Chains A and B, each alone.
Chain A
Amino acid sequence: MSQDQILNPKSLPNSPEKATLEGKNKFLGLWFFLGGETVLFASLFGSFVALRNSTAGGPSSEELFGLELVFLMTVMLLTSSLTSVYAMYHMKNHDFKKMQLWLGITGLLGIGFLGLEIYEFTHYITEYGFTFRSSAFGSAFYSLVGFHGGHVTFGIVWLIAIMVRNARRGLNLYNAPKFNTFSLYWHYIDVVWVFVFTVVYLMGKVG
Chain B
Amino acid sequence: MSIAVSDKNSAVTQKRSIGAVLWDYLTTVDHMKVAHLYLFGGAFFFILGGIEAVIIRIQLLVPENDFVSAGFYNEIITMHGTTMIFLAAMPLLLGMMNAIMPLQIGARDVAFPFLNSLGVWLFILGGIMLNMSWFFGGAPDAGWTAYAPLSTTSPGHGVDFYAVGLQIAGAGTLMSGINFLVTIINMRAPGMTYMRMPLFTWTTFITSILILFAFPALTVGLFLLMFDRMFGSAFFDVALGGNTIIWQHLFWIFGHPEVYILILPVFGLFSEIFSTFSKKRLFGYTSMVFATMLIAFLGFMVWAHHMFTVGMGPIANTIFSVATMAIAIPTGIKIFNWLATMWGGNVKINSAMLWALGFIPSFTIGGMTGIMVATVAADYQYHDTYFVIAHFHYTIVGGTVMGIFAGLHYWWPKIFGRVLNETLGKITFWTFFIGFHMTFFIQHFLGLMGMPRRYWVFLENQGLDTGNFISSLGALFMSIGVIVFIYNAIYVWLKGEKAAADPWDGRTLEWTTASPPEHYNWKQTPLIRGLDCLWIEKTEGNGKMTPAEPLKDIHMPNNTIIPFIMTLGFFISGFGFIYQTENKLWYIALFGGMAIALLAMLVRSLQDDVGHYITKEELKGEAK
Interface residues of A (CB under 8 A from B): 2-4, 7, 21, 24-25, 28-29, 32-33, 35-37, 39-40, 43-44, 46-47, 50-51, 54-56, 132-140, 143, 158, 161-162, 165, 174, 178
User: Nearest-CB distance from B134 to chain A (Å)?
Assistant: 30
B336 contacts the other chain (Cβ, under 8 Å)? no
Task: Provide the residues of chain A in CB contact with B240, threshold 8 Å.
Answer: 54, 56, 134-136
Establish whether residues B213 and A35, one from each chain, have CB atoms under 8 Å apart when the complex forms. yes
Beyond A28-B185, A135-B234, A138-B234, whether A36 also contacts B174 by CB under 8 A is: yes
Whether the pair B241, A55 counts as a contact (CB closer than 8 A) is yes
- Judging by beta carbons under 8 Å apart, are A37 and B235 in contact? no
A26 vs chain B, min Cβ distance (A)? 8
Q: Which residues of B contact A162 (CB under 8 A)?
A: 605-606
B221 near A136 with CB under 8 A, answer no
A25-B186, A28-B185 are known contacts. Are A174 and B608 too (CB-CB below 8 A)? yes
Contact of A37 among B186, B216, B242, B605 (CB under 8 A): B216
Residues of A contacting B220 with CB < 8 Å? Answer: 40, 43-44, 47
Q: Which residue of A lies closest to B249 (CB)?
A: A46
Which A residue sits closest to B214, measured CB to CB?
A: A39
Partner of B182, one of A32, A50, A54, A143: A32
Contacts A25-B112, A135-B241 hold; do A143 and B232 have CB atoms under 8 A apart? no
Binds A, one of B223-231, B356-364, B422-430: B223-231
Question: Which of B112, B233, B243, B555 contacts A29 (CB under 8 A)?
Answer: B112
Choose among A3, A133, A158 the residue that contacts B610 (Cβ–Cβ < 8 A).
A3
CA distance A160 to B447 in the complex (A): 60
Closest A residue to B212 by beta carbon equals A36
Q: Decide if B313 is an interface residue (CB 8 Å cutoff).
A: no
User: Beyond A51-B235, A135-B234, A136-B243: 8 further Cβ-contacts under 8 Å?
Assistant: A32-B212, A36-B212, A39-B216, A43-B250, A46-B249, A132-B232, A136-B235, A162-B606
Q: Is the CB of B605 within 8 A of A178?
A: yes
| Neighbouring A residues of B478 by C-beta, 8 Å | none
Report B-chain residues with C-beta under 8 Å of the C-beta of A25: 111-112, 182, 186-187
Residues of chain B with a CB closer than 8 A to A178's CB = 605
Q: How far is the CA of A25 from the CA of B186 in the complex (A)?
A: 7
Are B233 and A40 in contact, with the CB atoms below 8 A? no
Which among A2, A24, A139, A162 has the highest number of chain B CB atoms within 10 Å?
A139
- Which 5 residue pairs are nearest across A and B when measured between Cβ atoms? A54-B241, A139-B233, A136-B241, A40-B216, A43-B220
Q: Measured between alpha carbons, how far is A39 from B243 in the docked complex, in Å?
A: 20
**Given the contacts A28-B186, A36-B174, A161-B605, A50 and B243 also touching, CB distance less than 8 Å:** yes
Closest to B242 in A: A136
Interchain CB contact (< 8 A) of B602 among A3, A39, A161:
A161
Kindly count the residue-residue contacts between A and B in the assembled complex, taking CB atoms under 8 Å apart. Answer: 131
A9 to chain B, nearest CB (A): 14
Q: Are the CB atoms of A136 and B234 closer together than 8 Å? A: yes
- Across the interface, B186 reaches (CB within 8 A) one of A21, A135, A174, namely A21
Is B182 a contact partner of A140 (Cβ separation < 8 A)? no
Q: Does B217 contact A (CB under 8 A)?
A: yes
Chain B nearest CB, measured from A95 CB (Å): 22
Min Cβ gap A64→B in Å is: 15
| Residue from B186, B213, B224, B602 in contact with A36 in the complex, judged by beta carbons closer than 8 Å | B213
A-contacting residues, B444-490, CB 8 Å: none
Closest to A139 in B: B233
Chain A residues with CB under 8 Å of B246's CB are: 46-47, 50-51
Question: Which residue in B239, B242, B611 is a CB contact (below 8 Å) of A3?
Answer: B611
C-alpha gap A134/B237 in the complex (Å): 11
Q: Please indicate the chain B residues that have their CB under 8 angstroms from the CB of A50 in the complex.
A: 243, 246
* Residues 90-113 of chain B, each 1 if its beta carbon lies under 8 Å from chain A, else 0: 000000000000000000000110
Query: What residues on A are CB-neighbors of B179 within 8 Å?
Result: 29
- Asked whether B219 is an interface residue with its Cβ less than 8 Å from the other chain, the reply is yes
Docked Cα-Cα span, A44 to B250, in Å, equals: 10
**In the complex, are the beta carbons of B242 and A54 less than 8 A apart?**
yes
B613 within 8 A of A: yes
Complex CA distance for A55 and B241, rounded to whole angstroms: 7
Contacts of A161 in B (CB 8 A): 602, 605-606
A174–B609 CA distance with the chains assembled, in angstroms: 9
Complex CA–CA separation, A9 to B185 (angstroms): 27
Ordered by A's residue number, 10 sampled pairs between the chains whose C-beta atoms are within 8 Å are A3-B612, A28-B111, A28-B185, A28-B186, A39-B213, A54-B243, A132-B233, A133-B234, A135-B241, A165-B605
- A179 → chain B closest CB, angstroms: 12
B181 within 8 A of A: yes
Query: B499: shortest Cβ distance to chain A, in Å?
Result: 31
Q: Is the CB of A51 within 8 A of B242?
A: yes
Say yes or no for B253: interface residue by CB 8 A criterion: yes
CB <8 Å contact, B216 and A36: yes
* Least CB distance, B578 to chain A, in whole angstroms: 19
What is the CB-to-nearest-CB distance from B152 to chain A, in angstroms, rounded to a whole number? Answer: 12
Report A-chain residues with C-beta under 8 Å of the C-beta of B182: 25, 28-29, 32
Cβ contact within 8 Å between B219 and A40: yes
CB of B433 within 8 Å of the partner chain: no
Report the minimum CB–CB distance from B261 to chain A (whole Å): 14
- Whole-angstrom distance between the alpha carbons of A162 and B555 in the complex? 25
Q: Which residues of B contact A134 (CB under 8 A)?
A: 234, 240
Given that A35-B213, A40-B216, A161-B605 are known contacts, is A132 also in contact with B231, CB under 8 Å in the complex?
yes
**CA gap between A26 and B602 in the complex, in Å:** 17
Return the chain A residue nearest B228 by Cβ: A139
